[in-house]
Amino acid sequence: MAQSFGLIGLAVMGENLALNIERNGFPIAVYNRSRDKTDTFMATRAQGKQVQPTYSLEEFVAALEPPRKILIMVKAGGPVDAVIEQLKPLLAPGDILIDGGNSLYEDTERRTQDLEALGLTYIGMGVSGGEEGALNGPSLMPGGTRSAYEKIEPIVTKIAAQVDNGPCVTYIGPGGSGHYVKMVHNGIEYGDMQLIAEAYDLLKTVGGLNQAQLQATFAAWNQTDELNSFLIEITAEIFKVSDPDTQEPLVELIQDAAGQKGTGRWTVMSALELGVSIPTIIAAVNARIMSSIKAERTAAAQELSGPGLIAPVDQATFIDQVRDALYCSKICSYAQGMALLAKASAEFGYGLNLAEMARIWKGGCIIRAGFLSKIERAFTDNPQLPNLLLAPEFKQTILDRQAAWRSVVATAAQTGIAVPAFSASLDYFDSYRRDRLPQNLTQAQRDFFGAHTYERIDKPGTFHTEWAALANG
C-alpha cells in the first residue's frame, strides 16, 4: 500500500517527526542515507507502527502515493542540495518537497526557483522545539506558495503543538519566508538565553544566591504571567541537578564556552544588511563568541583586574530588580526581532502577519512563553505598530520598571560583571526614546573628512561645509 507521507533523514529531528506524523494518522515511508539508522529505528521506536522502511531513494519514492509529500530532515547546507539532486530525476510534476531543516532562507529561495521551474512544489519550513517538540508537537513555519501550503495543511495542523487559539502553524508567506522567520526565532532565542544567563550571573555573583535559592527564584519567576516560559522553566530544572560524584551543582562544573550553529549569526547579518537595529541579539551572539576564547580569557584574568567589589545589596530587593531588568530587556529583544521581521517582510514581499508569528511561537518551540500572547494582542490591536515598545502594555511596563532596570545595569558596571544583553537592551530603549542623538556630530565628521554632506534641522536642503578652512579662520 502506498504511504501518504515520506521523510528523509532519521537523525534526532527526523525520527521524532516521523513518529509524530504516524501517530496523527498518516502512514509514513522513511529513508536515511546510512542504512543502520533505519534498521535501528525500525527495531526500536518504530516497531509495530505504520512506518515503512526503505533503503534506496528509488524504493522510497515508489512507496509514496502521488502527488508525493516528502519532508527532508537532513543537515542544513550541502546535504539538502545533495538529497534534492538525487530526488529530482525520480519525482513527477506536482510532487511536494518540504525542507524542515535550519536552511538559510537564501538557499531556500534558490531551491524554490530551481524546483518550481521543473513543475515541482517546494516548501521551506522552519521547525522549532528540538527533540521533544518534534515528537509531541513543534512550532512550524512553512513558506512557499499558498496552494502548496493548503496541500500539506491537514498534516501540519495535526502534528504541530496546539495552543488555546489553534495549532502552532500558519501559512508564513512565499519563498524563503518560513526559513527567514525561523532564523529570527532563533536569533530571539539567543537573546532570551543570554538575558537569562546574565540574570543568573548577577543573582549568583552580586546577590550571593546559592543553588537552592537560584532554583527557587527561577521557579517563582516561571509562575509569573510575564516570565512564564520554557527557557525559565528549564533553567529552574537545571538548578535542581547536582553532580552525582561531587554533589556540586552540575551547572557549575560545565565549561563556560558556548557553541553556536549559525542561525544567530545569520540573523545579525540579515539585520545589518537590512539596516535594522538588533543590539540585544548582536550582544547575545557576541557573548557566545567571547565565551569561546576560554584560554585567552583565563590568561587575561591574571593581568586585568576589575573593581572586584560585591555591592552591598538587600537580596530580596535585588532579586526583584533583576526580574524587572530581565523583563524590560526581553521586551526590547522581542521588539528588535519583530522590527526585523517587519522590515524583511516589506523588503522581500513576504506579507508577514506579525500577530500570527507571535501566536505560532506560543507552543512547541524553544521561545514558547505566556508573554507571546501579549505580543500577539499588540499586533492584533495594531498591525502597523512601528515598535513593540509603543504598544500600551509594554510601554507602561517599561515606564514603571526602568528605575530597577537602570539600577541593575549600574550595579553590574560598578561590580565589573558584564551584562552585554541587559545593557544593549537599555541602550536600545534609550536610543529609541530620545528625540536627539549625537549623530549630528557624526554627520559633521563625515562631511569634514569625506564631503558626505548633511541636512540641517532649521532649513531644508543638503549642505557641505569647508570645515578645516572655517575652523582655521
Q: For binding to ligand NBP (CB under 6 A), which residues are involved? A: 9-14, 32-34, 37, 73-76, 79, 82-83, 101-102, 127-128, 130-131
Distance CA 351, CA 361 (A): 18
Sequence-distant (6+) residues with CB within 8 A of 159 are 17, 20, 21, 24, 137, 138, 140
Please pick, among 15, 109, 189, 198, the residue that the annotation labels catalytic: 189
Q: How far is the CB of 85 from ligand NBP (least distance, A)?
A: 10
Is residue 32 within 8 A of residue 14, CB to CB? The reply is yes
Among 141, 153, 136, residue whose Cα is nearest residue 185: 141
What residue ranges in 40-161 does DSSP mark as E strands? 51-54, 69-72, 96-99, 121-128, 139-143
Q: How far is the CB of 263 from ligand NBP (least distance, A)?
A: 8
Give yes or no: 189 in active site: yes
Please pick, among 182, 330, 362, 374, the residue that the annotation labels catalytic: 182
CA-only gyration radius of the chain, Å: 25
Is residue 146 within 8 A of residue 170, CB to CB? The reply is no
Q: How far is the CB of 72 from ligand NBP (least distance, A)?
A: 9
Q: Which is nearer to ligand NBP, 99 or 324 (CB)?
A: 99
Please count the other Cβ atoms lying within 10 Å of the Cβ belonging to residue 55.
12
Give kind and range of the element (H or E) at residue 30: strand 28-31
Cell of 161: 503543538
Q: Which is nearer to ligand NBP, 9 or 191 (CB)?
A: 9
Q: How far is the CB of 268 from ligand NBP (least distance, A)?
A: 18
Sequence-distant (6+) residues with CB within 8 A of 410 are none
Q: Which is nearer to ligand NBP, 13 or 268 (CB)?
A: 13
Q: How far is the CB of 80 from ligand NBP (least distance, A)?
A: 8
Q: Which is nearer to ligand NBP, 126 or 420 (CB)?
A: 126
Select the residue whose beta carbon is closest to ligand NBP and give its number.
101
End-to-end CA distance of the chain: 91
Q: Which is nearer to ligand NBP, 155 or 389 (CB)?
A: 155
Distance CA 164, CA 167 (A): 8
Sequence-distant (6+) residues with CB within 8 A of 138 are 17, 20, 127, 128, 129, 159, 160, 161, 168, 364, 365
Q: Which is nearer to ligand NBP, 177 or 217 (CB)?
A: 177
Q: How far is the CB of 469 from ligand NBP (least distance, A)?
A: 58
Catalytic residues: 182, 189
